[in-house]
Amino acid sequence: MDAHSQKAIMPEPIIQLRNVAFDFENTRALSDINIDIARGEFIAVIGPNGGGKTTLMRLILGLLTPTEGEVRIFGERPGTNPDRIGYVPQHSNTSPGFPASVEQVVLMGLAQGNTLLGKRRGIRYTREERAQAEHAMRRAGVSDLGKRRLNELSGGQRQRVLIARALITQPELLILDEPLSNIDPYGRQCILETLTGLDAQTTVVMVSHDLGITANAVTGIIAVNRFALASSGAQLTPAMLDLMYGIHEAGCPVHSLLQQMVETMPSENKLTQTQGKTASGCGHDTH
Ligand SMILES: Nc1ncnc2c1ncn2[C@@H]1O[C@H](COP(=O)(O)OP(=O)(O)OP(=O)(O)O)[C@@H](O)[C@H]1O
């Protein structure tokens, strides 16, 4: 296929970063970032601690302004369309001691710039809003937990409640910062099924340290370590590994581990083959 016809079928990117750099005071956290993410993609953002993943997410959300370059979300400046974006932050403000029910927490996703003690506290929600919450809870596999208190739930259940809260506005773009950390393998599988079971038009960008499980679900990977490299499909390239972990000599144990990662990465998206099914009994549906 020539470059012209390829361009003709390329969907318009909904996230675009051009020559972006970001400094925290005198420290450069990100340099020369050029990224395009198209509608419907499921992108894993991976990289070492301190590599700049959260900073990148915050630039996309408009919580930080680039020091250099330009960010466009839905073709506009970040922060212009908050209703079209759902966000599950790395460090949630959901204290385990917070006494709200799961349904109340999910409903708080309707409030602009909500916090768990947000503006809507004490306000009655309409029947339609409750139906929206029910729908989001079903999609995240927590509809049976609606009356439970957040502080009674496991870490994995709480994480899925936060995903339901982010889904309540039916966002076109869902950004999750390490939703799989501290979750057991079964819980991770459930969360990934939730994410891959979303409407095909929903774009998911997920920061994750878990290369293995992530590779089974994604349509593309972005490796971040001050700079960024993208690949389509679940293939990690040697250049990405080099960016993230540095060059390791043949014969060194890290070298063989990294080599194995490249060789064993699946080339297909296995989870998308089960879209719409509760293949492992995670209790969610996609309707
Ligand atoms: N508020 C801040 N002030 C100064 N430096 C910061 C601040 N937040 C992050 N940094 C620095 O910016 C760099 C990128 O941090 P960031 O949190 O984006 O990394 P990360 O890839 O998300 O890391 P992790 O995997 O540990 O969550 C790090 O060197 C970090 O120390």
180's CB contacts (< 8 A; 6+ apart) are 188, 191, 192, 208, 209, 210, 213, 214
Give the tens place of pLDDT for each residue, 31-64: 999 999 999 999 999 998 999 999 999 999 999 9
Note whether 201 and 40 are within 8 A (CB).
Answer: yes
User: Does 237 or 175 have the greater pLDDT score?
Assistant: 175
Which of 78, 141, 70, 65 minimizes the C-alpha distance to 106? 141
CB of 220 closer than 6 A to ligand 1?
A: no
Distance 189 CA to ligand 1 centre (A): 27
Tell whether ligand 1 has an atom less than 6 A from the beta carbon of residue 51: yes
Higher-pLDDT residue of 120 and 106 is: 106
The reported pLDDT for the residue numbered 257 is 64
224-273 pLDDT, tens digit per residue, is: 999 999 988 887 888 888 898 876 656 666 666 666 665 665 544 333 33
Task: Give me ligand 1 centre to Cα 245, in Å.
Answer: 17
210's CB contacts (< 8 A; 6+ apart) are 180, 188
> Judging by DSSP bridges, how do beta strands 42-46 and 220-225 pair with one another?
parallel
Using the mean position of ligand 1's atoms as its centre, give its distance from the Cα of residue 23 in Å. Answer: 11
CB 164 within 8 A of CB 136: yes
Tell me if 29 CB under 6 Å of ligand 1: yes
The two three-digit tokens of residue 231, written as one number: 């690949």
ipTM of the complex: 0.98
Q: Rounded to an integer, what distance in angstroms lies between the CA atom of residue 256 and that of residue 262?
A: 10
The burial class, CB within 10 Å (0-12 / 13-18 / 19+), for 190 is buried
Rounded-to-integer distance, Cα 91 and Cα 202, Å = 23
**Across the beta sheet with 220-225, what order do the strands follow?**
85-88, 173-177, 203-207, 42-46, 220-225, 227-232
How close is the Cα of 49 to the center of ligand 1, in Å? 8
Domains in the chain with CATH codes: 15-92+172-264 (3.40.50.300)
Probe ligand 1: pick from 31, 53, 225, max atoms within 8 Å of CB?
Answer: 53
**Is residue 199 classed as helix, strand or coil in its secondary structure?**
coil
Strands (E) located in the chain? 13-24, 27-38, 42-46, 68-73, 85-88, 173-177, 203-207, 220-225, 227-232
Task: Work out the mean pLDDT of the chain and round it to a whole number.
Answer: 80
**More confident site: 20 or 218:** 20
Percent helix, strand and coil across the chain, each rounded to 5? 35, 20, 40
User: What pLDDT is recorded for position 64?
Assistant: 96
- Kindly state if the Cβ of 50 falls inside 6 Å of ligand 1: yes
Q: Is 33 helix (H, G, I), strand (E, B) or coil?
A: strand
Q: Which pLDDT score, from 0 to 100, does residue 265 have?
A: 55
Cα–chain center distance at 8 = 28
- How many other C-beta atoms lie within 10 A of the C-beta of residue 40? 16
- Confidence (pLDDT) at 67: 97
Residue 7: pLDDT above 70?
no
